[in-house]
Amino acid sequence: MKAFSVIFAIFTLSLIIPAASYANTVQPQSGNGKWDYKGKDVFTHQSKIFKSDGGTFKICLSKNSAQGEYRLYEKDPLYPDLVPSGISGVGPYFPKEFDLNGCYRFYGINNFIDGPNNQAELYIKKFTGGNSTVYAWD
């Protein structure tokens, strides 16, 4: 019985050690894994530009922001790139498709990084009237 306990302990350790060393080699897709606040803007049709290092980009709208569709674009001198989102692949509808805090996450921003600064230059467009306040995190 004692021999079985020793063999079982050695077997268990052999499974744990490789798993622990593998966990130390896994790197996040981008950034430090925490949200970096990128700023705030009050806009009617198009927000100011927010710079992103890639990964996931989060916007939050104030409660008094206009209802409607909000699209995220990457600034490009010739052809602005629409960052796809949701099932429709266009833009989320506020407030219906935003979380309880009025926030929405756009994924895959790494695909839009370009230029010498190695960042994506992002802005929000909306297709309804009235002012909206956006807060951005990267």
Average pLDDT score over the chain: 79
**Six token digits for residue 82:** 């629409």
Domains in the chain: ranges and CATH: 37-137 (2.60.120)
pTM above 0.75, yes or no: no
Cβ distance 83 to 58 under 8 Å?
no
Residue 80's alpha-carbon distances to 54, 66, 116, in angstroms, are: 17, 23, 17
Span 68-122, pLDDT tens digits = 999 999 998 777 788 877 655 668 889 999 999 999 999 999 988 988 899 999 9
DSSP H or E run through 129 = none
> Closest Cα to residue 41, out of 60, 26, 23, 28?
60
Say which DSSP state 98 is in.
S
